Amino acid sequence: MPRIGSGTLVTGLTAAALAVIAVLAVQASGSAADHPVTARPSSPAATAPTAKVPPVTQVPVLPANTGSGKHVVYGLAAKRVWLVNGANKVVRTYVVAPGSVDPAPGRYKVTSRTARGTGGDGIAIEHVVRFATVGATVIGFSAAVDASMPSPDPQKKTGGIRETPADGDELWKLAVIDTKIVVVR
């Protein structure tokens, strides 16, 4: 009987093993669609329907030349606010609903703050941060307590720049008296 060398035996076994693995891989890929894997929820709360996640959009970059240090930037055309911390990092940016009167582009400081009040449109507001006056109209950021962001009545002169309550909370924490507010076109 002829002798088979150990190298030939190892090569043969390796080839056979690879062939078996290839067959199993083909079978597995063919049945994956037939048997999807689903995770079992760990609690009843985990079975609650989830909200649709909106598509990721590119966050607008902080406008150039707005200064350094802690400040708030309000973009008139973008209808957007950027909150910048003391390390010059944007910590939040969000869309706002401006009033019917806009401040002129420029540099301002927070002049007053009120925790709760009533807006010029009669809506209950919170976290009012004022920084400018145009004629007799006071300009400032605020959040409607009911979270509404109505379009301003063009017949009324309102300077309230509406934000959501969550955004208003963050602005309130950052924009204390004398905090810089930069308004850009």
CA diameter of the chain: 111
Per the model's pLDDT, the better-predicted residue between 105 and 19 turns out to be 105
Q: Are residues 15 and 100 in the same domain?
A: no
Number of domains the chain contains: 2
pLDDT of 110 > 50? The answer is: yes
pLDDT tens, position by position, 123-166 = 999 999 999 999 999 999 999 999 998 788 888 899 999 999 99
For residue 59, being part of any structural domain is answered with no
> Domain span at residue 4?
1-34
Q: Are residues 90 and 22 in the same domain?
A: no
Q: Are residues 86 and 177 in the same domain?
A: yes
- Banded pLDDT at 16 (limits 50, 70, 90): low
φ, ψ for residue 89, nearest 5 deg: -105, 135
Question: pTM for this structure?
Answer: 0.68
For residue 44, being part of any structural domain is answered with no
For residue 123, the domain's CATH number is: 2.40.440.10
Q: Are residues 148 and 77 in the same domain?
A: yes
In which residue are the tokens 């963050």 written? 170
The predicted pLDDT at position 150 comes to 79
For residue 161, being part of any structural domain is answered with yes
In angstroms, the CA 110 to CA 74 distance is 13
For residue 40, being part of any structural domain is answered with no
In angstroms, the CA 29 to CA 68 distance is 56
Q: Are residues 101 and 174 in the same domain?
A: yes
The predicted pLDDT at position 34 comes to 44
φ, ψ for residue 166, nearest 5 deg: -65, -45
